[in-house]
Amino acid sequence: MSLPTRAVIVRQAPMADAATEARAFVRELAEAMAHTIRPSVVLDCTCVRQIDGSFLHLLLCCLEEAMKRNGDVRLAGIPAQAKLALETMGVHRLFRLFPTTEEAIESFQGSNMLPMTLTPSPANADESPARAA
């Protein structure tokens, strides 16, 4: 039996600082998530060069919209300087970061997989698998 894959919404994060464009982006994303019970969203951030307050607000609004529907937002392709800014602000704890969009999409697909059987570590090799778990 194979499990269905989760539909993942992928959007290119906007580069412009205009508040009206950011509001339109969040509104469009919310509409895309409207009919999804647990939306899986990947924001492709490859074009983002710096992270300022308005971009941070955009990310948090996207996350809020997804969380209203018990979903999640993951960030992909964040350049090193932008990633450093996220870490400095402590926001990196709110999002899972991936080098590529494909890896971020695959991370959502993996959440539908059946749990794997645990194998004992070499230190516990003499224990039975039932006791190790």
Q: What is the pTM of this model?
A: 0.76
Going from the C-alpha of 68 to that of each of 6, 35, 37, 61, the distances in angstroms are 18, 12, 10, 11
Query: For domain 8-104, is the CATH number 3.30.390.50?
Result: no
| pLDDT tens-place string over residues 90-119 | 988 999 999 999 999 999 987 543 333 333
**Mean pLDDT within 1-25:** 76
- Out of 26-30, 46-50, 53-57, the most confident range is 26-30
Does the pLDDT of residue 129 top 60, yes or no?
Answer: no
pLDDT at 132 (0 to 100): 46
| pLDDT tens-place string over residues 39-51 | 999 999 999 887 8
Give the domain ranges of the chain.
8-104
Distance of alpha carbon 41 from alpha carbon 70, whole angstroms:
12
CA 68-2-128 angle, to 5 degrees, is 95
